[in-house]
Amino acid sequence: MTISKKLDGENLMMALEGRLDTTTAPQLENECKVCLYEVKELILDLEKLEYISSAGLRVLLAAQKQMQKQGGGMVVKNVNETIMEVFEVTGFVEILTIE
């Protein structure tokens, strides 16, 4: 998985490309640990993300919790049909802000 980051003031945009699975989820988890503490809004662009498993959901949940805890927000955008289905089945559509 490739993670491209763009910091714009207090907003951080992360574009994920490839697969967010058991193997790659720790990569995103580490990025979140390092980058999120000074961010007001996290925007996750999933346009080029092909696949997500429960390991990926776990990291998204943790990121969302962290952003809320520090009084910020998180937006997930450009979600493809397959990934949206995973969000629907797991109730993540209610937890995440999806644009």
Name the site residues for other proteins (rule: CB under 8 A). 21-23, 50-51, 53-55, 57-58, 61-62, 64-65, 68, 81-82, 85-86, 89-91, 94-95
Q: How far is the CB of 53 from other proteins (least distance, A)?
A: 5
> Smallest distance, Å, CB 49 to other proteins?
11
Instruction: Report in angstroms how near the CB of residue 58 gets to other proteins at its nearest.
Output: 4
Candidates 67, 59, 72; CA nearest to 29 is: 59
Residue 65, phi then psi, degrees to nearest 5? -65, -45
> Among candidates 96, 94, 90, which has minimal Cα distance to 53?
90
